Amino acid sequence: MPELRFDPLKKTWVIISTERAKRPHDFSLISEEKKEEGECPFCPGNEDKTPPEIFAIREEGSKPNEPGWSIRVIPNKYPALKLEGKIEREGIGLYDRMSGVGAHEVIIESPEHGKSLADLPLEQIVKVLTVYKLRLKSLRADERFRYVLIFRNYRSIAGASLSHPHSQIIATPVTPKVLKEELSIAREHFSRKERCIFCDILRDEMRFGDRIVKIHKNYVLFTPFASCFPFECRLYPLRHSYDFAEIPDEELPELALALKDMLLRIKLALNDPPYNFVIHTAPSLHPRPGKPDYWGTIKEDFHWHIELVPRLTIMAGFEWGTGFYINPTPPEEAAKYLREVDNAVEGMLR
């Protein structure tokens, strides 16, 4: 029997369509990949084919914009927003317009072209997470930016133009709608109940247990009750923490382990599908004119987390016209399939 499920965090209804229920192998055709042409600009030796690096982790003695790096951060060659300029706003009738100021960076996660993030050794993933933190803090220091989003597109169907392992960071002069709604809902929940909505969700998931995929010492991986997409996953810190940038460096190895575990499960259970993941964290906390307490309780009400969506289905007219999503794989079944690769994942994490 199909079900409608409501997500209190996103304020959306989802149709869990059990009549269309799909198993992992039913999605295999959607993960087909386009072939790349030409030389990869992210590979060592091709540093002159990218904009000059902003930051890099390098071997001792190696020079900027030359080989010898383990991670590079570069400006996106075709940025969504431009770093230079002032923010100017104006009204045009009922509409509003502002200058397209922001930052758009690419984090090249490894010199090895043929490896995905799931394939990288844990010590390399720790470096990636370290760079995430550093760039997040650096971009937040710019008072023009209200939000900094870290995200990863894997395979062309998910929006990646190159297969070389990389993530992206975009800083925007406004808080994006999805994040603003999530932040506002978290604040409203705390205002009513004096509890973090994310911590409440975690307590329920741990109590029910059927959507839990893996519990680490300080992190938990689960499939959301009202998953919009098949095999959608969320990775939460078990301890309340509002800001990804505040993770102590000594705790990054465990987060690297939890992230690799999640990516390996998706890769093994679903035949290495396209996916997107995003890090939802606190916004920039610079004071805003007329809004001195805009995010006044954020340290108590928000809980950073990672959301991952395998690109196994395509949005169609119903979703576009209604805002409903149709998910053909119940999250309880998705969690079960992701747990079934436990032994294989454990072997690859050793």
Catalytic residues: 166
Sign of the dihedral through C-alpha 145, 147, 150, 153: negative
49 phi/psi in degrees, rounded to 5: -95, 0
CA distance 243 to 253: 17
Please report the beta strands in the chain, taking only residues with DSSP state E, as ranges in sequence order: 3-7, 12-16, 55-58, 69-75, 89-92, 95-98, 103-108, 147-154, 166-172, 212-215, 219-222, 233-237, 275-280, 305-310, 325-327
Q: Among candidates 211, 208, 217, which has minimal Cα distance to 232?
A: 211
210 CB burial (10 A radius; 0-12, 13-18, 19+): middle
Six token digits for residue 181: 């709604």
- The amino acid that residue 119 corresponds to is D
CA distance 49 to 178: 34
Using CA atoms, how far residue 101 sits from 58, 78, 89, 130, 179, in Å, is 30, 14, 11, 26, 19
| 122: three-class secondary structure by DSSP | helix
Confirm if 109 and 165 have CB atoms less than 8 A apart: yes
